[in-house]
Amino acid sequence: MSQIFKPSTNTLARVTLFGALFFALVSVWILVSLNRSAYATRQTIVRMQPVPFSHDHHTEAMGISCLYCHTSAEDSAFAGVPPTATCMNCHKLIWNDSPMLEPVRASFRSGEPIQWARVHDLPDFVYFNHSIHIAKGVGCVTCHGRVDKMPLMKQAVSLQMEWCLECHRAPQDFVRPRSEIYNMEWEAEDQAALGAKLVEQYDIQSMMSCSVCHR
Amino acid sequence: MRASPTTALLMLAVALSAGACRQDMHDQPRYEPLEASSFFDNGMSSRPLVEGTVAREMPIEKTAFYTGRTPNDEFVTELPMPLDRELLDRGRTRFNAFCSPCHGQTGDGLGMIVRRGFKQPTSFHDQRLRESPVGYFFHVMSNGFGQMSSYASQVPPQDRWAIAAYISALQLSHNIPVDRLSAEERQQLDDSIVGSAEAHPRAGEE
């Protein structure tokens, strides 16, 4: 009776074994990177809005502060989206016959709110609060990117847990003076020295406990 | 029973991809602020305030702090709170965010929005407004004036007073007699006038 396993089978067995291991590792890697990809985090996707509102035109060109519209960012959990009346402060006189702004005027007449599509949305099991971040010197640009260069709003960061933790682990690398919160262009000359000073001054802690965000 | 490597791998892949699925915990049956609702007629989950609602911290009697007026209905001439550096700093940031788009950083009425076609307001350095009591500014912010809307919903009362205080400081800064400045400040002033005339050629013509 001839041998069932020839010497070459040894190689085949090795190739199969290592191949299987390799395949397993590659599929894990693919899954992990898929999970972090812009596709999964819905980053950079521009959503259809009822009015093509441009942050670029209103903040960069016109110098309107974020605070003018997002009034509650400083003292509540929610930054808020402005009511129609805020748009009408200016648009009752400016561009008041533009068809692009018809939904705004219709909403003002009828009292029905404009239905903006939500761009940033954390899962409901995560607790987030704007006011603490502003009070401890985290600027809008650190989390939302160059909003003043966005003709249409998009999410600039992944908003995944590892992104939150990167800063919570070492807040000194990201904080800025409170006076520069709304400044989109500000950059520290020496973040290491400034960070250390601000951590002292604002009493900033590194909050890593799960119950900070999952409560 | 022992799973073959392929089954094990398949199970691993299923477990990993199922872990990435959006599940009910991501979108729980509660409303986030401003979320739309299919339950109410106007599609909003937040209910409008019942007419006549007052904030909890608001007193029943109308004090100068909320109206800018004295009991006999004249505008108050003094702030209803102590004036300090902190109040002025607060006023500066709020003024720059809420008023400067139209009134300009210096209060001259030539803000960016006015340059784009909004009605031009009177300069705060106009004689009439320089003589207006501080309560008048609070009143305009709270109730609007002509084409200017009320800022009551965007700026809370404490901040409206801070802005009013800052406007008084702006007015003062534009009307200090030159002989009350120190020599150093006068030098600075001369330099800045030369500087700004170069930067904005039109300023020199006025």
Smallest Cβ–Cβ distance between B26 and the set A27, A28, A124 belongs to A124
The answer to whether the CB of B113 falls within 8 A of the CB of B102 is yes
Domain boundaries, chain A: 8-36, 55-81+119-213, 83-115
Predicted TM-score of the model (pTM): 0.89
Q: Scanning the structure block, which residue is given the tokens 């009177």?
A: B122
Averaging pLDDT over each range in A1-10, A125-134, B42-51, B52-61, which range is the top one?
A: A125-134
Q: How far is CA A34 from the centre of its chain?
A: 18
Count of pairs with CB atoms under 8 A, one residue in A, one in B: 83
**Nearest C-alpha neighbor of A55 from the set A42, A71, A66, A43:** A66
Q: What percent of chain A has pLDDT over 90?
A: 73
Residue B170 has pLDDT above 90, yes or no: yes
Is A11 in the B-facing interface, judged by CB distances under 8 Å? Answer: no
**Mean pLDDT across B78-107:** 94
Tell me how many helices (H) and strands (E) chain B has.
10, 0
Q: Which residue of A has its CA nearest to B115?
A: A62
pLDDT band at A45 (very low <50, low <70, confident <90, very high): confident
Distance CA A194, CA A200 (A): 10
Extract the tokens encoding A211.
């119950």
Q: What pLDDT is attached to residue B173?
A: 87
**Mean pLDDT across A56-84:** 92
Q: What pLDDT is attached to residue B197?
A: 47
Distance CA A134, CA A118 (A): 21
Residue A91 has pLDDT above 70, yes or no: yes
Residue B199 has pLDDT above 50, yes or no: no
The answer to whether the CB of B189 falls within 8 A of the CB of B181 is yes
**Mean pLDDT across B177-206:** 62
Helix (H, G, I), strand (E, B) or coil at B69: strand
Strand partners of residue B116: none
In the DSSP assignment, the letter for residue A11 is: H
Q: Which of A9-13, A19-23, A32-36, B15-19 shows the lowest per-residue confidence on average (mean pLDDT)?
A: B15-19
Burial of residue B155 (number of CB atoms within 10 Å: 0-12, 13-18, 19+): buried
- Tell me whether residues B147 and A92 touch, CB distance under 8 A: yes
Residue B13 has pLDDT above 80, yes or no: no
Which tens digits make up the pLDDT trace of B47-81? 888 888 887 877 777 788 888 998 888 999 999 99
**Nearest C-alpha neighbor of B102 from the set A91, A86, A90:** A90
**The residue type at B126:** D
pLDDT band at B206 (very low <50, low <70, confident <90, very high): very low
pLDDT band at B122 (very low <50, low <70, confident <90, very high): very high
CA distance B97 to chain A (A): 5
CA distance A119 to chain B (A): 12
Distance CA B108, CA B126 (A): 9
**Nearest C-alpha neighbor of A121 from the set A173, A74, A159:** A159
The answer to whether the CB of B125 falls within 8 A of the CB of B175 is yes
CATH 1.10.10.10 applies to domain B64-193 = no
Residues of chain B contacting A27 with CB distance shorter than 8 Å: 9, 12-13
Q: Which residue of A has its CA nearest to B33?
A: A78
The answer to whether the CB of A175 falls within 8 A of the CB of A136 is yes
**The residue type at B64:** A
Q: What percent of chain A has pLDDT over 70?
A: 100
Is A57 in the B-facing interface, judged by CB distances under 8 Å? Answer: no
- Tell me whether residues A94 and B119 touch, CB distance under 8 A: no
Which tens digits make up the pLDDT trace of A173-193? 999 999 999 999 998 889 999
- Tell me whether residues B101 and A31 touch, CB distance under 8 A: no
Interface of A with B in 94-153 (CB under 8 A): 94, 111-113, 115, 123-125
The answer to whether the CB of A124 falls within 8 A of the CB of B30 is yes
Q: What pLDDT is attached to residue B99?
A: 96
Q: What pLDDT is attached to residue B58?
A: 75
